[in-house]
A = this chain, B = another copy of it.
């Protein structure tokens, strides 16, 4: 651990900038080779600076999940934003309309008539129509129309509605479900095109399967978020290695009550309880023999080999199970630059729940 990290108060979220830059470049390069537009999801970092870095590296624009995130990114002059969310209700629609005046290329998704009709109503008198993609459930079992025929029906409704225009198709597939997604999307795209509808964007996403993003051949665009920092869940899947993990929780051992137990000052309010199918709550870098077996809100309990104990006051770097939620738990983070310099930074869009 570099000396500079010895004086930061813990728990802290530390981001290694050089790894971030390498991760951005590597996946951009993959997408460029595949002829895929890349539209990174900012939910992971929630930072204007890294959204800009992703665009400067060649990304088409960014993805947001909430209007609040998009508002922060618009404040940072990001001009191409896809919000992959059904937006409804008068307050949110009013905010979306206001956002569209600031973001030249703004698009959203819809998977039902209520959402389409709400968007159309509020954009009916807009100078520029809002682009709407049809969200398809290709196996992820979250939102989305269930069949290509339903996608066609909703696409027709969008195309026929005032104030909005059809942009194409969007999915968030199940992990490992790229081929199912490709089959669904190919069929739906063909139905749209046969119907004379626009389907210029076919966008899928997800870091777990990002290195086979274009295997189905139908996608025009890919959305990935976690790849910028990576995390333990992605190492376990084989998507990346520990050296590719840019986001670390720095914690201090505050207690060693027994020879086999150490307690750190990072609990579920720093690491989150997300398991993502894993056992335990994170990976202690350089100490694969240590297990993080339990979290309470402000304590993490570590099982250690009594022959290789940790000492009170000792610090550990942890790769969290799921880095996207960790980013959202810290108001301020530390960016560790390649030269070892540490810079404190506010997490611009942290906590933008609406």
A7 touches B329 (CB 8 A): no
Partner of A257, one of B7, B111, B115: B111
Segment at the B interface, from A18-26, A143-151, A179-187, A233-241: A143-151
B312 touches A297 (CB 8 A): no
Q: Whole-angstrom distance between the alpha carbons of A111 and B257 in the complex? A: 8
- The verdict on A114 contacting chain B, using a C-beta distance below 8 Å, is yes
- The verdict on A217 contacting chain B, using a C-beta distance below 8 Å, is no
A142 touches B111 (CB 8 A): no
Query: With a CB–CB cut-off of 8 A, which chain B residues contact A56?
Result: none
- The verdict on A2 contacting chain B, using a C-beta distance below 8 Å, is no
With A142-B263, A145-B257, A273-B274 as known contacts, state yes or no: A351 contacts B329, CB within 8 Å: yes
Query: With a CB–CB cut-off of 8 A, which chain B residues contact A331?
Result: 351
- The verdict on A313 contacting chain B, using a C-beta distance below 8 Å, is yes
With A257-B145, A297-B43 as known contacts, state yes or no: A353 contacts B11, CB within 8 Å: yes
Query: With a CB–CB cut-off of 8 A, which chain B residues contact A86?
Result: 254-255, 312
B141 touches A9 (CB 8 A): no
Stoichiometry (number of copies): 2
B263 touches A143 (CB 8 A): yes
Instruction: With both chains docked as a complex, state the minimum distance between the C-beta of A352 and any C-beta of chain B, in angstroms.
Output: 9
- The verdict on A330 contacting chain B, using a C-beta distance below 8 Å, is yes
Partner of A268, one of B9, B90, B325: B325
> Measuring CB to CB, which residues of chain A are less than 8 angstroms from any residue of chain B?
7, 9-12, 43, 65-66, 85-86, 88-92, 111-112, 114-115, 137, 141-146, 252, 254-258, 261, 263, 265, 268-270, 272-275, 296-299, 301, 312-313, 324-325, 328-331, 351, 353-354
19 A-B pairs (CB sep. < 8 Å): A9-B91, A9-B92, A9-B354, A85-B265, A86-B254, A86-B255, A88-B254, A88-B312, A89-B252, A141-B261, A142-B263, A142-B299, A143-B255, A143-B263, A144-B255, A272-B273, A273-B273, A330-B353, A331-B351
Q: Which 6 A-B pairs have the closest CB atoms?
A: A143-B255, A86-B254, A114-B312, A65-B298, A9-B354, A273-B273
